[in-house]
Amino acid sequence: MRVFRCIVRGRSILSALCIFHNYLLFWRCVTISSKELQINDEIRDKELRIIDTDGSQLGIMSASEALDKAAEKNLDLVKISPMAKPPVCKIMDYGKYRFEQAKREKEARKNQHIVDIKEIRLSLNIDTHDFNTKLGHAKRFISEGDKVKVSIRFRGREMGHPELGYEIMRKFADSCAEFANIEKPAKLEGRNMLMFLAPKPKK
């Protein structure tokens, strides 16, 4: 596979030309960013330090000589350390490298979990059934890697009994202690009492 760049509608395009026994099999283009590594004919340094496909050192040589060595293997010359003196280039299948890199990035994004904050609302007169139901929700949210905001809304004369809210929060936190830590303890803010729970660190 030979990899090179072309300009299509003002954008830099990475082109892959696959050759097998001198027959053209396919040609494909994909958009690349401006921060791409320099490859093949883009490399015009007077001297380069060359690394072979197996990681062995081929020594210092001119860009044209290095390009010839890459062409002999139907591979690409890629500048991997442009700031080195002289710059370091490696002979590789750049199309394959890009494909595998994109595959790894896609896999990493798929496995990445964005932490959400789920809210669970309790009340001062919550019954046992509702309490256990809310507890089940908290366990599910925490098991999925999310954080939980537990809230109690004080209404009317309930504002005169904040200790009841603290007791419910304590009971709820104790019931979650097996799978969650208290990230922020219960605190009364206006008419709302809030507490934040987070997943326990994995051992």
For 125-139, what is each residue's pLDDT tens digit?
999 999 999 999 999
Tens of pLDDT, residue by residue over 34-66, are 357 889 989 988 899 999 999 899 999 999 999
Picking from 166, 163, 148, 158, the residue whose alpha carbon sits closest to that of residue 191 is 158
Torsion of CA 165, 167, 170, 175, to 10 degrees: -110
Whether the Cβ atoms of residue 52 and residue 37 lie closer than 8 Å to each other: no
What confidence tier does 113 reach under pLDDT thresholds 50, 70, 90? low
Share of the chain above pLDDT 70, in %: 81
Q: How far is CA 179 from CA 121, 124, 125, in A?
A: 19, 24, 25
What's the rounded Cα separation, in Å, for the pair 159 and 94? 67
Alpha helices in 48-182 (DSSP H): 63-72, 94-111, 128-143, 162-176
Could you tell me the residue ranges of all domains in the chain? 2-111, 117-199
Q: Tell me the mean pLDDT in the region 106-123.
A: 83
The dihedrals phi and psi of 6, each to the nearest 5 degrees, come to -140, 165
Q: How far is CA 49 from CA 35, 61, 78, 106, 144, in A?
A: 21, 7, 11, 32, 49
CATH of domain 2-111: 3.10.20.80
What's the rounded Cα separation, in Å, for the pair 168 and 95? 60
What's the rounded Cα separation, in Å, for the pair 142 and 140? 5
What confidence tier does 107 reach under pLDDT thresholds 50, 70, 90? confident
What's the rounded Cα separation, in Å, for the pair 17 and 28? 7
Contacts of 96 (CB under 8 A, 6+ apart): 1
Range 117-199: architecture per CATH: 2-Layer Sandwich (3.30)
